Amino acid sequence: MIRVVVDANVFVSAALKPHSKPAQIIDLVKKPKIALVLSQAILEELKKVFRYPKIKKELRLSVSEIDETLAKIAAGAVLTPGNIKIKAIKDDPEDNRYVECAVEGQADYIISGDHHLTQLKFFQGIIIIDPAAFLELIGEKI
C-alpha cells in the first residue's frame, strides 16, 4: 500500500475545485491502495485553514460541518503520534510538520504545492512531489 502525507493546501484546493488535480488526489486516498497519513499537527492546521473566513464562505460550510468533515478524514487515516521533531525546512519551520509526519508514518510521498516542501524533493527516502506530478507517477502504479 502506498502511504501519503497531503499538505493542507492540497486539501483546500480539492475542496474549492472539485475537478482539480488536488481533488483527484483526495479521491485516491479514499481507495484501498493509498493510505493517508496524518498527525495531530496537520489536523490542527487543516481545522485552522478551513475556518479562514474567505475559505469558509467559499465552501458554504459551518464550523460544525468543517469539524465533521475533518473527523471523517481523520477516521480513515493512519494517525501518527507526533513524537518526531525534524528541522529540514528552515524558511518555513511549520512545514516541518509534514516531514515529521511522513517519517513517523513511514510515508512514501508528501504531496504539496508549497515550494518550501517541493524544493526539498526527497527526505529520508520520501519523495516530495506536487499534485500533478504525483498523479502522473501514480497512474502507472495503480
The three cell numbers of residue 62 are 459551518
The whole model's pTM is what?
Answer: 0.93
Task: Give the structural domain span for 33.
Answer: 2-138
pLDDT (tens, 9 = 90+) of the chain, 142 residues, equals 999 999 999 999 999 999 999 999 999 988 888 999 999 999 999 999 999 999 989 999 889 999 999 999 999 999 999 999 999 999 999 999 999 999 999 999 999 999 999 999 999 999 999 999 999 998 756 5
- Supply the pLDDT for residue 89: 92
CATH number, domain with residue 85: 3.40.50.1010
Given a contact cutoff of 8 angstroms between Cβ atoms, the answer to whether 73 and 36 are in contact is yes
Residues 5, 25: Cα–Cα separation, whole Å: 11
State how many domains the chain has.
Answer: 1
Helix (H) / strand (E) element for 80: namely strand 78-80
